[in-house]
Amino acid sequence: MSQNLTYEKSSTNTRKIIQEGDFIIIRRQDASRLVQVDKYKAAFLGKQKLFLGGIIGKPYGSSFEVKGSDLHFVDPAKSRFLCSSVAIAEAQTRDNRFLVDDGKSQKLTKEQIEELKTGGVSGEQIVENLVENSTTFKDKTQYAQAKYLKKKQKKYINHVIILEPTTRLLSEMYFSQGPLKICNLRVDSLAQMLAMCNVMSRGRYVVFDSCFGLLTAAVLERLGDSGCVVQVYPGPGPTSSFRQAVYALNLAQEQLKKLLVGLPVTEAARLLLPPSNEVINHDKHVVPKITGDSKENSVEVNAREEAEEKDEFTSVVDMKDCEVEDKYESQANKSAKEEAKADRKAQRMDEQKIAKEILAVKNMDGLLVVSRHHPTNIVLTLLEFLAPSRPFAVFSLYQQPLVDCYRKLKDKGETLFLKLTETWLRSYQVLPDRTHPAINMSGSGGYLLTGIKVEPLQTHKKS
C-alpha cells in the first residue's frame, strides 16, 4: 500500500553504559532508590547492602541478581522470562474449597531450605523445589498459584534492575518513598505543569521548587542543551538537597552551568523595588555579608549553611558510611572542606548575578511553582518577570491557598485562562478475566492553578 520512508539512522545508536560516578536508579519489585555509583562504597536498598562494582560497564536497563552484597549480571532474555512468567496465568477453573491452612503444606523444612540457600543453589531452583514439595500448590486456583509464585520469587530470587534516571523514574521513586516529601506532586500533576507551561528547548523558565529539585530537573530535561532555568528558592540560601534530582540527570557540569542558575526569592523581589533601593542591592550581592539588612541576617545564613553541609545528600542517597568518616576526618580534610564551601559560595554568588540579569529583562517564557509556602506572594512577585502571552502553573498540596491565589490574580486582571484543576489518576490490573482498577490508589495528586499572563487592560475599555 505505501512506500517506506527514506530516513537517516541515528549515528549514536548504541546502548548507554553504566559508569563510575553516574547517578543511577536501582529498582527492585516496587522499591527504587537513587544512588551514585562508587565501586568502593556500599549502597543500601532498604536493609540490603549492595556493592555496585559489578554493574560498571554494563548497559542501562540490565538486570542483576543479588548474591550476598554483590550484583551479578543476568541475561536479558532470562530476566524478562522471570518478569512475565508470574504475570500471565490462564483462566481459573478450580476453586479453593479443599485448601486448609494447617501449616503442613510445605514438605521441605526450614533447615532444608536454609541448606539449599547456603549451598549456592540459585533462587529459581529454590522456588522450583518449594513448588514441587508443596502439597497444596496443584490444588490452588491459577490466580493463587501465580500469587504463590510471586511471593516465593520475591523472597528467594533477588533481582534488581539498574535504570538511567529520567523525570518519570525520579518522580515515581520520590512519590513511592513518601508523597509528602515532594508535596504530593504526583506524576500526572507534574506532567500537566510541564505541558501547560509549554516547556521546550530554548525557553527561559522561572522555577520555584520545594521538592528536591524534581520540578527543576523535569524542566531542565526538556531544555536539551539550550534555554535556561532560574531556580528560585525561599530563604537566604538554598537547602542542601535543592538540586538532588537535578544532579541525578547526569548532565555535564558545563551544561548545567549554562542552563541553570539559582536565586533567593527575596533577591528576585528586590529587583522589583523602585530604583532608589536598587543601588544598595547591587552592593549586596558583591559582598553579601558586610552590607545588607542586618548582622542577624548574615549569621542566619551562616548557621543555615553549616547545617546544610552536614546533611548533604540526605535520605535518598544513602551515605551512612560517609557520616561516620566525618567524625574522624583530619585537619587537612577540614581545610579542603572549607575551600569547597567557599567555592560553592562563590559559585552561588555568580549564579545570583546572572539570574538577576536574566530576570531584569522581564522576558521569561514560563513560571512553574511547587511550594511549601503560601503560593500567592511568590506567584504575584515572580509573574512580574514573565513576558506577556506566557503561561504559568502553580501546584499546591492544598486547594484553599490556590483559591486565594486565583482571587488575587483575578483582581489584578493580568491573566487569561485562569483555571483551578486537579487530575485523577487510576491504574489498572490487566490480566485475562481479572481486569479491574488497582485495589489501592493515591487519593489526590494535589491541585493546580494555571493561566496565561497578558498585558493589563489600562486604556482599553469594553465599549
Partner 1 sequence: MSFIEYRDLVKNGDTVLIYLSISNIYALKITSGKVFQTKYGALKHDSIIGKRYGNVVQCSRGWAYVLFLTPELWTLTLPHRTQILYTPDISLVILQLDLKPGKVVCEAGTGSGSLSHALARTIAPTGQLYTFDFHEQRVSLAREEFQEHGLGDIVTVQQRDVCAEGFGLEDIADAMFLDLPHPWEAIPLMNVSFRCSGGRLCSFSPCIEQVQKTCEALHTGGFTDITTLECLLRPFEVKEVSLPHLHLSEETLNKTRKISLESQDGTTDVKKEETGKINTNSLDDTTGDAVSFSKSNSKRSRIEKSMENVCEAEWAAVPSLQIPGHTGYLTFATFTHS
Diameter over CA atoms, the chain: 90
Of residues 172 through 211, those in contact with partner 1 by CB under 8 A are: 187-188, 190-192, 194-196, 198, 200-203
Of 15, 97, 104, 110, which one interacts with partner 1 (CB under 8 A)? 15
Task: For residue 440, state whether it binds partner 1 (rule: CB under 8 A).
Answer: no
Residue type, 302: N
Cβ at position 406, least distance to partner 1 in Å: 5
Instruction: Provide the 10 A C-beta neighbour count for residue 374.
Output: 15
* Shortest reach from residue 379's CB to partner 1, in Å: 15
Q: Which stretch binds partner 1 (CB under 8 A): 77-85, 282-290, 318-326, 342-350?
A: 77-85
Rank residues 319 and 409 by Cβ distance to partner 1 and give the closer one: 409
Cell of 299: 549569621
Pick one of 213, 375, 391, 451: the residue that binds partner 1 (CB under 8 A). Answer: 391
Residue 120 falls in which region: left (phi positive, over 0), alpha (psi -120 to 50) or beta: left
- Kindly state whether residue 291 participates in binding partner 1, applying the rule CB under 8 A: no
The residue type found at 433 is D
Tell me which residues in 216-245 interact with partner 1 (CB under 8 A): 218, 221-225
Contact between 58 and partner 1 per CB under 8 A: no
* Residue 368 · residue 196 · CB < 8 Å: no
Q: How far is the CB of 320 from partner 1 (least distance, A)?
A: 30
Tell me: does residue 125 bind partner 1 (CB under 8 A): no
Residue 394: phi and psi, rounded to 5, are: -120, 125
Shortest gap between Cβ of 219 and partner 1 (angstroms)? 11
Q: Which stretches of 157-274 are DSSP H helices?
A: 167-177, 187-196, 214-223, 244-247, 253-259, 265-270
C-alpha grid cell for residue 459? 486604556
Residue 84 engages partner 1 in binding (rule: CB under 8 A):
yes
Question: Using the rule CB under 8 A, which residue among 358, 365, 368, 382 binds partner 1?
Answer: 365
Cβ closer to partner 1: 21 or 224? 224
Of these, 150, 168, 373, 374, which contacts partner 1 (CB under 8 A)? 168
Q: Are strands 63-67 and 204-209 parallel, antiparallel or unpaired?
A: unpaired
Q: How far, in Å, CA of 423 to CA of 402, rounded?
A: 15
Residue 283 C-beta: closest distance to partner 1, Å: 33
Q: Are the C-beta atoms of residues 129 and 123 closer than 8 Å to each other?
A: no
Instruction: Report long-range pairs for 72-81 (Cβ below 8 Å, ≥24 apart).
Output: 74/159, 79/159, 79/161
Task: Give whichever of 27 and 348 is closer to partner 1, judged by the CB atom.
Answer: 27
Helix (H, G, I), strand (E, B) or coil at 201: coil
Q: Which of 87, 299, 303, 322 binds partner 1 (CB under 8 A)?
A: 87
Contact yes or no for 155/163 (Cβ under 8 A): no
Residue of the chain from 250, 291, 315, 423 that contacts partner 1 (CB under 8 A):
423
Report the distance separating Cα 272 and Cα 269, nearest Å. Answer: 6
Residue 121 touches partner 1, criterion: CB under 8 A:
no
- Provide the minimum distance between the beta carbon of 171 and partner 1 in the complex, in angstroms, as a whole number: 8
Q: How far is the CB of 445 from partner 1 (least distance, A)?
A: 10
- The reply to whether 339 sits near partner 1 by the rule CB under 8 A is no
Q: What is the DSSP secondary structure assignment for residue 243, as one 8-state letter? A: T
Q: Which is nearer to partner 1, 57 or 61 (CB)?
A: 61
Please tell me whether residue 2 binds partner 1 under the rule CB under 8 A.
Answer: yes
Q: Which is nearer to partner 1, 20 or 404 (CB)?
A: 404
Q: Does 331 bind partner 1 (CB under 8 A)?
A: no
Of 280, 339, 343, 424, the residue at the interface with partner 1 (CB under 8 A) is 424
Residue 6 vs 118, nearer CB to partner 1: 6
Query: Are 392 and 450 within 8 A, CB to CB?
Result: yes
In three-state secondary structure terms, 88 is coil
327 binds partner 1 (CB under 8 A): no
Q: Is the separation of the CB atoms in 233 and 262 below 8 Å?
A: yes
Q: Which stretch binds partner 1 (CB under 8 A): 250-258, 266-274, 332-340, 385-393?
A: 385-393
Which CB atom, from 303 or from 441, has the smaller least distance to partner 1? 441
Strand arrangement, sheet containing 260-264: 260-264, 228-233, 204-209, 366-370, 390-396, 447-453
The whole-angstrom separation of Cα 445 and Cα 37 is 32
